[in-house]
Structure 1
């Protein structure tokens, strides 16, 4: 799957967005640059929720949360939310997500909206109820498409939903959470049901395409070790010889850590680290590893443990906690770790952008990178 183009006419702070991501560019890594307030995070979240949640009834709530306040004006037939072009290596599928006013009786559509090139996704933003408290006005989110019939389109969206991922800082404001939950960022409540980060943790269990840059993804690390161990055991049953998946994982992680080594606790309760210096192994404590080291390790293990391949991976502010050298290096890392993925990296980092050609770098206002003409005029 490859995201070819995204157009957003008017959603929150995004105005007249039209960005293309060329399918023939190598590597398939596109920085998305702007200064603070440009709407990079909003754009990534919009793409992710539309493509990840549209066909799963259990995830429709996140669409509804995202669209809260997105109104179709009186007298308008519809309001376009986003146009997204996807290349599936055989054809270009054009998806049009738009909203229109509609009437419901409970959860039943009062009109039959089932033409061959249109799928109703969800209703949202209910208006004032009528006097009988049954019929109500609401907006509907729909998806139109080309080249596919309804059943084919649903299968396509289902496949696409498993090929779209979002990684972001856990301190990000996620627009697909209910507004009341987002307000908890300004609350100091310690109650679990009134704590933003506890709610975010619960949300991550429902959105399997979402990953947040935690301090260290210990659960993912342990799961990866267990999965590698199980693969080796199955290989032993099949051939009589244990496989090398577990050792290969250890080798990969240690290569990332340089002169440090990672080890799994014997009871699989956690991990520990050691520093090897002149043949001596020195135990390391959490404070002995930098935030950047742990973050780089977490990103690697997330991609590998989820077996993320041939996917569209949206990453917000991946450069946080990285020295400029590592901001530049993360491009090479992603190419090496999972070269079949397309990456769109919302960033403020000049160093990260400089690791690719200028044509790879996409910008939205206010722009991150000055044009050559501006640089010439100022010099």
Structure 2
């Protein structure tokens, strides 16, 4: 990535042969870690679906091409597909001066795919018509194969982040709402973010227990057991398995599903006594760890690119170290890129796993 917002000359390799495939990405505050994860996410998750392309246009608004040039490189992403290295070059191009109407009249190239149009005008000028297009350029590849690959990778790219993060792929006016008093309805930042989550199925915010995902996991397990009964005459054990796994995460606490599937409740088992727990009885860290597990399980996230921003928030230093083992156990086939400030998290892996961008983390004294 040559130059995007605060990111300059970024060139990082996440080695395909490393195990575990978990890579902390560190820098001081303001280094651009979140920007990097969000750009990777929208380019890979949104480039092929028409209803998601506005999120790319939102992020690129104001990304200008210098006078005298007709193209600017946004990013080059190389992805190993199991057999070959697929090189995707994302380039921004000016509107052809010889055309008067729209980009669609441009001569179609056999080595590139048009993704979306956006305005390179300053962000204060929200009414400017799109005058720049983003293309995905490729070499030594069949165009249909690249399109198929983009479809596949869009379903295999995920971003998890705190909802308090500023998501720069949301509309510019929504970000400005962060500096205004919240209003009712969808005319506030968090309402707009919630609406975006329904369109961006790969986006997850892990601030609180994701009850909807948790109930979905229970229902999916129940349905698998029922299908097993139809097929074999005996119910499967998917439901009991997920209950057992969740209870292992909770230690001496237990989770139970309401009979009508309307919610969940928790109980504490202590010296033979059963005590009902309320939401305030579970720590933020416990709920977050449970949410991450449920998210990976309910979405069946495997063989995927999982981008996680500030995963260590609300975790005790021991749990910051432990989350690496958790991810390796819960879904080991994924490649994880973790934007982090946590030394404990980084120390759970080899130094070669840890990637840094400027300004680099200040090393702790022993």
The 1:248–1:12 alpha-carbon spacing in structure 2 relative to 1, beyond 3 Å, is same
State whether residues 33 and 369 of structure 1, in contact with CA within 8 Å, keep that contact through their aligned partners in structure 2. Answer: no
Paired residue secondary structure (2:57): helix
Of 39, 43, 50, the residue aligned with 1:50 is 43
Paired residue secondary structure (2:131): strand
The CA deviation at 1:110 is 2.9
Query: Which residue does the alignment assign to 2:56?
Result: 63
Query: Which residue does the alignment assign to 2:294?
Result: 301
Q: d(CA) in 2 for partners of 1:64 and 1:13?
A: 18
Number of matched residues?
Answer: 359
Structure 1 unpaired stretches of 5+: 1-7, 129-135
The CA deviation at 1:137 is 6.7
Matched, 1:269 2:247: no
The CA deviation at 1:106 is 5.4
The CA deviation at 1:144 is 0.5
Q: d(CA) in 1 for partners of 2:59 and 2:47?
A: 12
Query: Which residue does the alignment assign to 1:4?
Result: none
Point out 4+ residue stretches in structure 1 off by more than 3 angstroms: 103-108
Query: Which residue does the alignment assign to 1:172?
Result: 165
The CA deviation at 1:127 is 6.1
Query: Which residue does the alignment assign to 2:106?
Result: 111
Paired residue secondary structure (1:109): helix
Query: Which residue does the alignment assign to 2:322?
Result: 329
Q: d(CA) in 1 for partners of 2:165 and 2:114?
A: 30
The CA deviation at 1:152 is 1.0
Q: d(CA) in 2 for partners of 1:155 and 1:19?
A: 25
Query: Which residue does the alignment assign to 1:3?
Result: none
The CA deviation at 1:184 is 1.0
Paired residue secondary structure (1:307): coil
TM-score, structure 1 length as denominator? 0.92
- Equivalences for residues 185-334 of structure 1 within 5 A: 185-334=178-327
The CA deviation at 1:108 is 5.0
Q: d(CA) in 2 for partners of 1:206 and 1:107?
A: 26
Matched, 1:38 2:36: no
Query: Which residue does the alignment assign to 1:101?
Result: 94
- Equivalences for residues 117-132 of structure 1 within 5 A: 117-125=111-119
Query: Which residue does the alignment assign to 2:331?
Result: 338
Which structure has greater strand proportion? 1
The CA deviation at 1:115 is 2.3
State whether residues 253 and 268 of structure 2, in contact with CA within 8 Å, keep that contact through their aligned partners in structure 1. Answer: yes
Q: d(CA) in 2 for partners of 1:90 and 1:263?
A: 44
The 1:254–1:127 alpha-carbon spacing in structure 2 relative to 1, beyond 3 Å, is closer
The CA deviation at 1:183 is 0.9
Structure 2 unpaired stretches of 5+: 123-128
State whether residues 102 and 139 of structure 1, in contact with CA within 8 Å, keep that contact through their aligned partners in structure 2. Answer: yes
The CA deviation at 1:145 is 1.1
Cα RMSD for the two superposed structures: 1.7
Q: d(CA) in 2 for partners of 1:252 and 1:105?
A: 61
More divergent stretch after superposition (249-258 vs 231-240): 231-240
Q: d(CA) in 1 for partners of 2:42 and 2:270?
A: 47
Offset from partner CA, 1:196-247 (integer Å, 9 cap, x none): 1111111000000000013110000001001101111111111111110000
The 1:105–1:307 alpha-carbon spacing in structure 2 relative to 1, beyond 3 Å, is farther
The CA deviation at 1:355 is 0.1
TM-score, structure 2 length as denominator? 0.95
The CA deviation at 1:368 is 1.2
Query: Which residue does the alignment assign to 1:359?
Result: 352
The CA deviation at 1:186 is 1.3
Query: Which residue does the alignment assign to 1:156?
Result: 149
